[in-house]
Structure 1
Amino acid sequence: MSPAQRRVARILVDTPLSHLDRPFDYAIPDDLAEAVVPGCRVKVRFAGRLVDGYVLDLASDTEHEGRLAPIAKVVSSEPVLVPEVALLARQVADRYAGTVGDVLRLAIPPRHARAEAHPGGAEPPEPPAIGEASWHAYVHGAAFVRALAARESPRAVLNTLPRHEPERAVAEAVSATVRSGRTAVVCVPDVRDAARWDAVFTEALGPGVHVTLTAADKPAARYRNFLKASRGEVRVVLGTRGAAYAPLRDLGLVVVWDDGDDLHAEPRAPYPHTREVLLTRAVETGAGVLIAGHARTSEAQSLVEQGWCAEIVADQPARRREWPVVDVTDGTEHGAAPARLPAPVFEAVRRAEGPVLVQVPRRGYRTSLVCDSCRTPAQCPACAGPLVQHRADAPLVCRWCATTVAAWRCGECSGTRLRAPVVGQLRTAEEFAAAFPGREVVTSGGDTVLDHLDRDDAVLVLATPGAEPSVTGGYAVVVLLDTWLMLARDDVRVFEESHRRWFNALALAGYGARAVAVGDTGMLQGLVRADPAGVAARELADRAQTHLPPVGRLATVDGPEDVITGLAARTWPPFVDVLGPVPVEPGRDRLILRVPRREGLALARVLKAVAAERSAAKEPPVRIQIDPVAF
């Protein structure tokens, strides 16, 4: 279409209002005809204000009756919104009852003019043929890579073994995809993972083949890498949540690592999950899929049981050989009360001929306090909130109002002595330092998270879940302390999430290492058998009984108490199971809606209509979240 024929632009206007979530037609002024291209950023008059927008496509006429408002300004002629991502944004918005504008804020980084001015157009280099050696440890693993090399689109769930470098295995799959003439997107949970994987990708694929996209990047660097993907200068994008929308063409493979990590759940509306974004993209483009991790989620297990994804695992002898042998103790000794440092743990650490990792469920010092005489919880005299102690020489402090309590006395028995039924990693570090004076005790968690430690056979690392540093050669002993505390959390995913964190910690062990878990033997059999797939199958069966995701679809609607009460009383479609309202905080309630999986999109449409009704009536919005990680 010549510039003279391009008279109308369909523009997606950046507005948070649900009832205006659609493209609008604008006239293209003659002086902007050359600058307006599909995918570029513009400014237009909308509801009396000058707002941002993206050009979706161009046309010679419009169905709008009346005079069209003209485009006010072309911010940049750089086509940052490619058609595939525009379609993906619409599908994600429909899946999560959100707006396309909200999704595009997640997908396209802010503009940086200097990065845009950098000349582009360079052809990406061809990665070397690095083979498939990392996949030989898994049944049918090598076949997956060969299928990618043959331009096929296999879909698989991979459970990786300790010390088998999942980054390198994924790099081999990516190399096969790129050498077949296609592109690949790889998403990891956080910037620590991205930095580690980036180093492996650079070494395995060579420089210039891939870029990283993370929220921690400086704005100019992030936008520059985004443009390299958009302009076709790279074939692989590695990053965190936002990388799922990378503007790559001819997509051949999408990869998500550790999809159970809650960092994959976007905290901004419409709250999409990285795994679901990538699966949506793979279905639309016909790309291959790889969901990988040391553990397995019930969502991944559901894909395996449906036959949509193949299962790639090591055989049982290999799993037994590679995973550390796990001994389980309930912490008791000859019928006595559970000990803080059980004898099996003490012996395992004392005999360890190498570094030791101890996973502690809570960070801090003494995170819960009760009266030593009557076990009544210690409360703040000002607000009745729980008291905590941050270190040995620190006073008691209220967790709610931060009031310092110099002299505490129990309101039930007038006792003045306190005990801690639950302690954090700092207090545990003191106990282990006293018990093992020959070891250097290091803590990792909270504001101080260690990524990697050089080999030191005398080190003992106390870490909270997710903050465990790797160590050269692996740990000689891994201790999972107070597993009952992790399982006691009020969370529908507690069983799955606890095992994910335990498997991730055990994967840091060295060859021939020993592990000790303190908890209930029956609950920890998945660790003993080194069977993440079995844990996921059990969790999926439990979800089926309660019709929770992924077996069903579930949505939460949060808002003022009177609004949620009104929504609960409205007429919902017959397939919607309405639960609640339930209070979430003073003055705010939550409504929970549950439907069969096949009605998921229908539920999203109903909730989108609710949001549109409220925005059209200029009423405050409610918070709608579909398939939340926790509720």
Structure 2
Amino acid sequence: MSSADGAGEQLAFIRETVRRAKPRAARGVVMAERQPVARVLVDKGVLSLDQYFDYAVPEAMSEDARPGVRVRVRFGGRVGAHGRREGGALHDGYIVERRDDSDYAGPLAPLARVLSPEQVLTPRLLRLCRAVADRYAGTLADVLQLAIPPRHAGAEGEPSPRPLPPPGAPAAGSWERYAHGADFLASLAGGHAPRAVWTALPGPEWPFEIARAVAATLSSGRGALVVLPDGRSVARVDAALRGVLGEGRHAVLAAEAGPQERYRRWLAVSRGSVHAAIGTRAAVFAPVRDLGLVVVWSDGDSSHADPNAPYPHVREVALLRAAEEGAAMLLGGVSTTVEAAQLVRSGWARPLAAPRDVVRQVAPRVRTVTEHDQARDAAAQAARLPSVAWETAREALTRGPVLIQVPRRGYAPRLACGRCREPVRCRACGGPLESPAADTALVCAWCGTEEHDWHCPECGSFRLRAQVVGVRRTAEELGKAFPRIPVRTSGRDAVLASVPSAPALVISTPGAEPVAEGPGYAAALLLDGWALLNRPDLRAGEETVRRWLTAASLVRPAGEGGTVVVVAEAAARAVQALVRWDPAGHAGMELDEREELRFPPVSRMASVTGPPQAVADLLGLLRLPEGADVLGPVPVYGGPKGETAERALVRVAPGRARRWLRR
């Protein structure tokens, strides 16, 4: 045996001796007799502290200090001469494990307090949050802040209702319209875990189809989880579940309920009182027991991307959870994302769509108007509507409401000089000036400075021209074109959930379209298509198709006179996808291009943004795996004060990202 081998064995013996040494607490603390060490996750979202810390369990807290409960611990400071921990602030945390020993050889600080005996961090939830943190290179503490709602003592003190027995398997209903739709429901009811990418048909049936999928899963004795992009869609699915399942079988986890009520409902799910949960983004972490189905509706909606670190996306969390818990997966929407198309192409999921003849029966008729046609049209100059759109709206208003989608909010969000077409800029920060209303002062969209005496610095003209027209000015112009018709607006300032079936002009920004009662809208006009298609964004085409299809799906079928007029270049790929009502085909072509360019989801990419020197220093420290490359850095806008910043993209080949992120 070499001396190196002997030294290695001696070091291993010392480490094992230290590990098996009886743990000791700070002076004056009586530790619990059984499992006196609590391994705690301290709620500090610092990457260097993304680990567990051992604390002594006082005998008085031994019964309540169970794995999964919230605790208060003293973190930081130092151990003084008498073995007491001095200084350090109190922080919240979670006990993840009770142990007989500790890897730490010194005296252990005691738990300061057990905040609640409620076990909110289950082993399954802990594994999911750890996987999400690894997937997004974040900390476990940050993910837990997204996954577990704040505590409310009053809600914890109330008993949850007794669980109801499983319902019977539902009839297929409108699932019969889809190829293999009835088989999908039967598989859920049989306790299996099918995975599908669902291209939903236009019309009002999709909430009831989700409700039947949930009912089929509950009938097998398992739980179900549905995640939706906004409160309006949550309300629609909630109403459908009440109609299919009755009361008391599901919980709605949405911010509109208020913090205490939402926590009360979350506890009912965690305790097993209800086996189905629906809600918005954070509901993807809901602790549903015996999870059998995860449904994500409209996964391309930006609301599914969390704006808080580590910025997880609902779709990715749902996929991780379905794989971890062996649950079925239903990724649905009226449109199809590139990520969903990749799941189908890889064989991980199966497509769930209706035959073409069924699509033609329920979809509205789609007509196109190009910008060239609009420029030559006198009606478009007078009322901002091409003749085709104006005639369509006038005829449709005799039968019901008409939806008009305008890509921009406000009155005139982008202005230019009326003579030389130079963009109108703020003299304080260089940002774009906008007109919030007619006959009012211009306001900077970046710094909020008002401009009362603008003139063009290039030609001296005082005349203004609207480059982009917003919702409010569109409503003003169309109100003049249709003087006896009510005009309603839905946008960021006030989003309407629904409108009556009576004739009206409903002007909305994308994503804020209200549902029309009764058979739906008689027609829809999709204006300024160039504003969506020309955005400098990788997902511009995909997002445009999603927004158009979402609005068009609210229109009556072509057989009932439903018509959609889109103002955009007819030859554009997104326009053709709308005309043919083929979102899956559009997503497939987008995926082909991504594969050729090695863009996500084919590869994994990380964005690094900051001061030029900081970006250069970080790129110099990175140890990139084989096949990785760096795109950039390129200058980007840094803020209203004009700070310089750069952005670089780090691209990693498939299969190598996980190991790289763990470094």
TM superposition score category, shorter chain reference = over 0.9
Is residue 343 of structure 1 aligned with residue 387 of structure 2? Answer: yes
> For residue 417 of structure 1, what is the aligned residue in structure 2?
463
Distance 1:76 1:589 in 2: 46
1:556 Cα deviation after fit: 1.1
Are positions 1:469 and 2:514 aligned together?
A: yes
Worse-superposed segment, 596-605 or 467-476 = 596-605
- Contact kept? 2:371, 2:569, Cα under 8 Å: no
Is 1:597 the equivalent of 2:654? yes
Which one is further off, 361-370 or 581-590? Answer: 581-590
1:211 aligns with 2:268: no
1:484 Cα deviation after fit: 0.9
Q: Cα distance, 1:329 vs. partner?
A: 1.2
CA apart distance, 1:125? 4.2
Counterparts of 1:55-70 in structure 2, within 5 Å, are: 55-70=95-110
Return the letter of the residue paired with 1:570: L
Mapping 1:315-330, distance limit 5 Å: 315-330=355-370
Q: Does 1:522 align with 2:571?
A: yes
1:474, 1:110 → 2: CA distance?
A: 40
Q: What residue in structure 1 maps to residue 25 of structure 2?
A: none
3-state secondary structure, aligned to 2:426 = coil
Per-residue CA deviation, residues 145-202 of structure 1 (Å, 9 max, x unaligned), is: 1001000000001111122421111111111111101101110011222222212212
Partners of 1:331 and 1:341 within 8 A in 2? no
Matches of 1:538 and 1:382 in 2, distance apart? Answer: 44
Q: Say which SS state the counterpart of residue 320 (structure 1) adopts.
A: helix
Deviation at 1:589, TM superposition (A): 3.0
1:81-131 per-residue CA deviation (whole Å, 9 max, x = no partner) reads 011000001000000000110000001011100111112472234335432
Alignment of 1:36-185 (within 5 A): 36-47=65-76, 48-120=88-160, 122-185=162-225
Partner of 2:633: 581
Q: Residues 401, 124 of structure 1: CA spacing in aligned structure 2 closer, same or farther, 3 A cutoff?
A: same
Taking the aligned partners of 1:109 and 1:145, their CA distance within structure 2 comes to 32
| 1:446 positional shift | 2.0
| 1:393 Cα offset (Å) | 2.4
Mapped partners of 1:146, 1:106: distance in 2: 34
Q: SS in structure 1 opposite 2:523?
A: strand
Instruction: Look up the SS of the partner of 1:254 in the other structure.
Output: strand
Report what 1:428 is aligned to.
474
Please say if residues 474 and 510 of structure 1, whose CA atoms lie closer than 8 Å, have aligned partners that are also in contact: yes
* Residues in 1 aligned to 2:459 and 2:407: alpha-carbon distance in whole angstroms: 31
Kindly report which structure 2 residues correspond to 1:553-592, keeping only aligned pairs within 5 A, or say none.
Answer: 553-573=604-624, 574-584=626-636, 585=638, 586-592=643-649
Moved over 6 A (4+): none
What is the Cα deviation at residue 79 of structure 1?
0.4
C-alpha separation between the residues in 2 aligned to 1:397 and 1:17? 40
2:50 matched to which residue of 1? 21
The Cα offsets for residues 537-596 of structure 1, whole Å up to 9 and x where unpaired, read as 111112112212111101112334322121123353233211222333114433311111
5 Å matches for 1:166-245?
A: 166-245=206-285
2: distance between equivalents of 1:69 and 1:416?
72
**Partner deviation per Cα, 1:424-455 (whole Å, 9 max, x = no partner):** 11111122122222322211112111110111
* RMSD, aligned α-carbons: 1.8
Counterparts of 1:207 and 1:126, CA distance in 2: 13
Other structure's SS at 2:112 match: strand
- AA of the residue aligned to 1:465: P
TM-score computed with the length of structure 2 as normaliser: 0.88
Compare relative contact order (CA 8 Å, sep 6+) and give the higher one, 1 or 2. Answer: 1
Task: Measure the CA separation in 2 of the matches of 1:248 and 1:101.
Answer: 21
The amino acid of 1:577's aligned partner reads D
Total equivalences in the alignment = 603
Task: State the secondary structure of the residue aligned to 2:467.
Answer: strand
Give the Cα–Cα distance (whole angstroms) in 1 for the partners of residues 605 and 161 of structure 2.
Answer: 45
Higher-Rg member (1/2): 2
SS at match of 1:184: strand
CA contact (8 A) 2:57 2:110 kept: yes
Q: Percent identity?
A: 47
Residues 1:7 and 2:56 are matched in the alignment: no
**AA of the residue aligned to 1:441:** V
1:277-306 per-residue CA deviation (whole Å, 9 max, x = no partner) reads 111011011100000100010001100111
Contact 2:189 2:220 in 1 (8 A): yes
> 1:172-571 to 2 correspondence within 5 Å?
172-333=212-373, 336=376, 340-352=384-396, 353-457=399-503, 459-472=504-517, 473-512=519-558, 513-523=562-572, 524-571=575-622
Displacement of 1:602: 2.3
Worse overlay, 125-134 or 427-436: 125-134
Question: 5+ residue gaps in structure 1?
Answer: 607-631
Q: Partners of 2:446 and 2:56 in 1: how far apart?
A: 56
Q: Which SS does the other structure have where 2:646 is aligned?
A: strand
Between stretches 338-347 and 327-336, larger displacement belongs to 327-336
Stretch moving more, 469-478 or 555-564 = 555-564
Mapped partners of 2:176, 2:356: distance in 1: 15
Q: Is the 8 A contact 2:633 2:647 kept in 1?
A: yes
Counterpart position of 1:618: none
Unaligned runs of 5+ in 2: 1-31, 77-87
Output the TM-score relative to the length of structure 1.
Answer: 0.92
> Secondary structure of 2:262's partner?
helix
